[in-house]
Amino acid sequence: MRLSFLIPAFNEESTIDDVLRRVAELDLDKQVIVVDDGSTDGTGKILERWEAGGDGRLVIRQPNRGKGAAVRAAIPHLDGDIAVIQGAAQGKQITWRDGFKALGVLVSVRFSSRGRAKKMEQRRG
């Protein structure tokens, strides 16, 4: 099973390296798509170096339009069985949705300050 990580980023120069490192350390078949949502700090330069570092990495650049627009910009590029929306700031929640289809189960994961994942599961009706 392949995962597609979607990471909307706006002015995340101080955290984006760590988030990308944590995702890279996951022993999973994965694709990582980062949407630079019009950052004006050093986020863009960091992402240029990161994108050149290997396969399965894609950076989409767009003017600042917000997180929802950033996620929508990434969706056409997905090739995974499961999509994960990961916040670019440390500690932000990630949300798992199987192919963006209504599954009846939403699983959220939050990283602790020590980098450990805490898992919560919510059932929707």
Q: Is 40 helix (H, G, I), strand (E, B) or coil?
A: coil
Give yes or no for a contact between 74 and 35, defined as CB atoms under 8 angstroms apart: yes
- What's the pLDDT tens digit per position in 9-59? 999 999 999 999 988 988 889 999 999 999 999 999 999 999 999 888 999
How high is the pLDDT of residue 56?
86
pLDDT tens string 51-101: 999 888 999 999 999 999 999 999 999 998 888 888 877 555 444 444 433
Q: 64: which 2 tokens?
A: 């600042």
Single pTM value for the model: 0.73
- Confirm if 73 and 62 have CB atoms less than 8 A apart: yes
- Specify the residue for token string 């399965």: 56
d(C-alpha 16, C-alpha 27), whole Å = 19
Domains of the chain (ranges plus CATH)?
2-123 (3.90.550.10)
For 107-120, write each residue's pLDDT tens digit: 444 545 554 444 44
Identify whether the C-beta of residue 64 lies closer than 8 Å to the C-beta of residue 73.
no
